[in-house]
Structures are given as structure tokens and as C-alpha cells.
Amino acid sequence: MYGNTLVLIMGEAKRRKNLGIPPREKTEELKLPTLNKKAIQQKVRTTLYNYPIIPFLFYGAAILILIGGLFFVFKSFNLGLL
């Protein structure tokens, strides 16, 4: 049982060398894409200029979610206000 611990502790490079397998090829590192912040800001601004109703829709949805959350809390805890 204890004689096999060396095999378990052995690194992959030594194991490959002992088995006669060539070393593993190194993979290329992944490069993160670069973001062009100015282009993204320009796209967002042109979209908002073309559709000025979008901010009002987002604010309206946020207010409805908050009111719905308050209603759920009051109803679930039986606070009696509603």
C-alpha cells in the first residue's frame, strides 16, 4: 500500500518521462478581447437619442418591482396595512 504512494505523488512530467511519452505541448494562452469604451458609449448614446422612451420604461419597471415587492412583504407577513 505504501509503495504506490510515490506513483501518486509523482508529477506528470516525471510520469511521462518514465513511460517514454514526449512532453506535453504547451497550449496558447487565451487573450482577452479588448473593449473599445468610446465605441460602446457612442452606440449607447445613439440608441438613447433614437429611442428616448427607454429610460422611462426602465424607471417605470423598477418602480413597479419595488411596489410589488412591498405588497408581497406586507401580504406575506400579514402586517394589515393592505
Report yes or no on 14 lying in a domain. no
pLDDT tens digits for 50-61?
A: 999 999 999 999
Distance CA 47, CA 54 (A): 9
Whole-structure pTM value: 0.47
pLDDT tens digits for 22-32?
A: 888 888 888 88
Cell 410589488 belongs to which residue? Answer: 68
Domain count, the chain: 1
Domain holding 43, by residue range, is 34-82
* DSSP 8-state secondary structure symbol assigned to residue 10: S
Per-residue model confidence (pLDDT) at position 1: 44
Amino acid at the residue 16: R
Residue 64 banded pLDDT, cuts 50, 70, 90 = very high
Cell 408581497 belongs to which residue? Answer: 72
Distance CA 69, CA 60 (A): 14
Distance CA 67, CA 65 (A): 6
Report yes or no on 40 lying in a domain. yes
